[in-house]
Amino acid sequence: TGVQLTIFAFSILAILIALGLSLLLARSVSQPVSTLVKAVNKVASGKYGATLKTPSKLKEITELANAVDSMQASIKSREKHIRYQAEHDVLTGLFNRNYVEGYFESELGSGHSVQVVAITVIGFRTINDLYGYSNGDNTLKALAERLQRWPGTSARLAGGEILYITHDALNDDQLETLKHILEQPVESNLIAIPVKVAMAVIDCPKDASSSEELFRKMNIVTDEAIHSDSWCVRYKADLEDKYTRRLSITTELKRALISQQNELSMVYQPKIDLQTMKVCSMEALIRWNNSVLGFVPPDEFITIAEQAGLIEQVTSWVMKQTISDLAYFREKGYGFTVAMNLSTQDIQNKVLLTKLVSLLTEEGLSPEALELEITESDLVADASLAIENLNELTARGFHFAIDDFGTGYSSLAYLKNLPVKTIKIDKSFILSLASDENDQQIVRTVLSLASVFNLKVVAEGVEDAASLDILKEWGCDIVQGYYISRPLSCADLESWLQNTPFGE
């Protein structure tokens, strides 16, 4: 009926109005929302921009738009931060390795030549150990600041390794100036920290044309700069062979030390007492015959072992072998002492020295049966600790001899204050003693001073009878050298001892 019809008509109208309204609402919501969605998608693909062109009348939409805006801003700043971190060293603010790789390749790619100077803070770990990490950090920051005043690009790689890259190659004088500036002591927490650096110089693209090649060669040159006497080393092709050899010596020596194979052995060189003309001692010298490298001279691998942190193991091996051989000779009735060579680091190594004492005790030998040869530089390196250990061992009955005397700086007067009884004049003064007047003068002076200071003198490197006679006449105590005998294996030594006029 009429009422029903009216209700129906109103219902339809209401539905239509609702439909129209919701359509209207939908448009005013969906349009800004889809703009916002586009904006968010843009952000996702790394582009930032305004969100809504005209502010919406709807509160919720405005809030949403503001949220998207602030999200953009914070992502932007975080991205900036992340990019900074990806390219910089956080501690010093210098660039990092990652950045350098890209920078280097793009520079070379655009045809520029650059000079890369790798600067290594020598003993950076020791700075940390000695002065604490905060002072270590301050040292690096100070170096970074100094370097940043120079035109060019600087980066820190790791630890105390810093790179300086410049388009205007530095000459030797400029490199020295840079070194001088970097080596100014760093003031930190009221202390002055001494700094020493080594520099490796690589001219690119001449020396390296990819970042991989750059870093590989940098390691080689840096290694040389740290271990050689010169503070600055430029890349040269033959450094690679040297490095490779050093590397294989390290690898092979490690292998020889852990496996029980017989690559390592000891030989013994007799020393003769010039008063009795009889054997009084044997110097123990190590030999290494490697399956890959062949015979490696002890001078060479001992130095490398010291640098590679292997010397403790080497000396340990030498101690064991020498003391067991000494026990064998005692058993056979021989009374000579044995002289063992120690390295700088050995003198500072209390654990190793304690082991020496217990090895002797195990074999029932007394410390008097052993003589320890050390060089002057061993005493200069860390004088106080070395001297403390020296005194302690002397109190236990050990004897020390200064090896290679005359090649270093210490005077006899200085040695007088150390628990040292014997000096060994270096063979460089003895080898041509019979003919070289200079050597004669030096040796004569050393001998007369030594008698004033009450030190025994051994001359090593005696190769002829004439030199032996001179030394005897001038009051030298003991001689050692090829003229008497070359170093001999245990077996050869026994037959030598039975046939020589110098036998006990």
Interface with ligand C2E, residue 460, by CB under 6 A: yes
Residue 407: phi and psi, rounded to 5, are -95, -15
316-339 burial code (b ≥16 CB/10 A, e <16): bebbebbbebbbebbeeebebebb
DSSP character string of 27-55: HHHHHHHHHHHHHHHHHHTT----S-SS-
Do 201 and 218 form a contact (C-beta atoms < 8 A)? no
Do 158 and 120 form a contact (C-beta atoms < 8 A)? no
- Looking at the Cβ atoms of 224 and 460, the one nearer to ligand C2E is 460
Residue number, nearest CB to ligand C2E: 481
Closest CA to 27 of 59, 68, 66, 58: 58
Interface with ligand C2E, residue 256, by CB under 6 A: no
477 binds, among ligand C2E, Ca ion, none (CB under 5 to 8 A by kind): none
Work out the angle at residue 28's Cα, subtended by the Cα atoms of residues 25 and 34, and round it to the nearest 5 degrees: 125
- Looking at the Cβ atoms of 378 and 403, the one nearer to Ca ion is 403
The dihedral formed by the CA atoms of 119, 120, 124 and 127, expressed in degrees to the nearest 10: -50
Residues near 174 by Cβ (< 8 Å), separated by ≥ 6? none
Segment near ligand C2E (CB under 6 A); pick from 69-77, 394-402, 405-413, 461-469: 461-469
Interface with ligand C2E, residue 339, by CB under 6 A: no
Interface with ligand C2E, residue 487, by CB under 6 A: yes
CB of 268 to ligand C2E, least distance (A): 10
Interface with ligand C2E, residue 179, by CB under 6 A: no
Do 125 and 159 form a contact (C-beta atoms < 8 A)? yes
Interface with ligand C2E, residue 285, by CB under 6 A: yes
Residues near 459 by Cβ (< 8 Å), separated by ≥ 6? 424, 425, 430, 433, 443, 467, 471, 476, 478, 479, 480, 481
CB of 339 to ligand C2E, least distance (A): 9
Residues near 149 by Cβ (< 8 Å), separated by ≥ 6? none
Segment near ligand C2E (CB under 6 A); pick from 175-183, 297-305, 353-361, 438-446: 297-305
Q: DSSP character for 375?
A: E
Interface with ligand C2E, residue 403, by CB under 6 A: yes
Closest CA to 339 of 263, 402, 427, 414: 402
Closest CA to 101 of 208, 190, 212: 212
Interface with ligand C2E, residue 399, by CB under 6 A: no
CB of 336 to ligand C2E, least distance (A): 16
285 binds, among Ca ion, ligand C2E, none (CB under 5 to 8 A by kind): ligand C2E
CB of 344 to ligand C2E, least distance (A): 9
Binding mask 409-428 for ligand C2E (x = CB under 6 A): ------------------x-
Interface with ligand C2E, residue 318, by CB under 6 A: yes
CB of 225 to ligand C2E, least distance (A): 24
CB of 408 to ligand C2E, least distance (A): 13
Interface with ligand C2E, residue 433, by CB under 6 A: no
Kindly list the residues in this chain that would bind Ca ion in the complex (CB under 5 A).
341, 373, 403-404
CB of 293 to ligand C2E, least distance (A): 16
Instruction: List residues near ligand C2E by CB under 6 A.
Output: 269, 285-286, 297-299, 302, 318, 341-343, 373, 403-404, 427, 460-463, 480-482, 487
